[in-house]
Amino acid sequence: MLKFTPILLAILYALAMYAVSAFRTKRELDARSAELVDPRLTGHFDRLAKALEVPRIKVMLYEIDAVNGLAAPDGRIFLTRGFYNKFRLGDVSGEELAAVVAHEIGHVALGHSRKRLIDFSGQNALRTALAVFLSRFIPGVGVWIANSVATLLAARMSRDDEFEADAYATALLIKAGIGTAPQKSLFRKLGALTSAGRASIPAWFLSHPSAEARIAAIETNETRWHAAT
């Protein structure tokens, strides 16, 4: 039993850290966000709501300059002020913001927040077990290898979640009558904005797939779904 104690402690530590992180995130979002109300976007969001057969989709505006969308652990959908400003400047269309919202709805519908809790706990346990085992044979380096393996695993799981949320968004956008063109055009824009920052990072360490890979997956899904109808 004693030999499993470090792993059990690692799992408990991971659960505690996740709980603290979720609490801090909720407090931050509550303090720095309010509902996004813009008549130019309401129609697009209403089309998503109609496709989902819900009264409406409430989108929150998170007051930070970064260009991002996110799904909170409590199921709320957020767009950042930076993203909204891109829309106001005409750099991003309303349909493209609807594609972001559809993607974040996908994260919520597919339970990715709960899944990340399990994944995070498992990765922490794996990191600890590998570090203990490898350190017996290669002291010092073993911990580095264990951390690298856990990072690789986390990045792979995160990329899988992104592809799943993209697929959900593709289906939702098609059902809503918006189509996938805005989804793909947005990825092309984001790819151009972030390619310089990603160029020096090995693909297997990236937590998000490349824009090219995501567009290719969307087109593959479209072909398969249209062939089935």
pLDDT in tens, 30-43: 899 999 999 999 99
CA atoms of 152 and 34, how far apart (whole Å): 36
Residue 117 tokens read as 């809790």
pLDDT, one tens digit per residue, over 93-116 is 999 999 999 999 999 999 887 766
pLDDT at 35: 96
Nearest residue to 46 via CA among 98, 85, 87: 98
Q: What is the pTM of this model?
A: 0.76
